[in-house]
Amino acid sequence: MHVENLSQNRSFGGWHKQYKHQSASLNCEMRFAIFLPPQTARGEKVPVMYWLSGLTCSDENFMQKAGAQRVAAELGIAIVAPDTSPRGDTVADEADRYDLGKGAGFYVNATQEPWAQHYRMYDYVVNELPALVEELFPVTDQRVISGHSMGGHGALTIALKNPNRYRSVSAFSPICNPVNCQWGQDAFRAYLGDDQASWQQHDASVLMQQATEAQYLPTLVDQGDADDFLNSQLRPEALEAAAKASTYPLELRRHEGYDHSYYFIASFIESHLRFHAQHLGLDNPI
């Protein structure tokens, strides 16, 4: 596997680096960012938190705005942030929409044209990117996953479908029930067609309600009550009802006055990293 280093910046004793590579899953060139904590410079291998960002974002937003590196450096956790969709001149897009096409991959494998050739973000996040990261960087195969909004949807559904690949999962302001909101319905109809059964395989509330004890993962969700998308798109009450029905170990916290922005993420990212550190078995994470 070959990657090209695009940039690197010292950060809290570690390094933030940005790479590009040719993706077999997506059939295009892709970019990702990685934060390597200072422990890696001492010859240690560290676990990884995969961060999935939301609509219109890239690999850069979280790494620049969330302020996660300080705590990740303390705990000894690498952070990997992929882009949110395939990119390039040959990749299908809806230029007049922010919620479909480039920047809006929704972490599914598209089956419909013109999307199917490139839009396979599920395979990329679950298989290709971790294999590349674990081959080329000083990290272990111990993984956790987190994300925001569309990326929160991605983190939850990927973890629910692959519980043996992750130690824990968390999300900020996730799209909890996409089969019942406009963002999800529009994306699923475009990428997956009209097959409602395939939609449900990428809906965290449906998957959580169906989960058995063998599939349980420690799960933390934070939601601001001043989020403009709370009732129309995010629907955390559906996730709570699903967890109650299956006795799934969900902790969903609501926060007064917080909106959908990176100010919200920056306010609580430390508690998410410490939550994941606890389930990774790192020393004194709390």
Residues tagged active-site:
149, 227, 260
Mark residue 43 as left, alpha or beta (left: phi above 0; alpha: psi -120 to 50; beta: remaining).
left
Q: Sheet holding 219-224: strands in order across?
A: 4-11, 14-23, 28-36, 78-82, 46-52, 139-147, 169-172, 219-224, 250-255
255 burial type by CB count under 10 A (0-12 exposed, 13-18 middle, 19+ buried): middle
Q: How far apart are CA 220 and CA 173, in angstroms?
A: 11
> If you count DSSP H runs as helices and E runs as strands, how many of each does the chain have, helices first?
10, 9
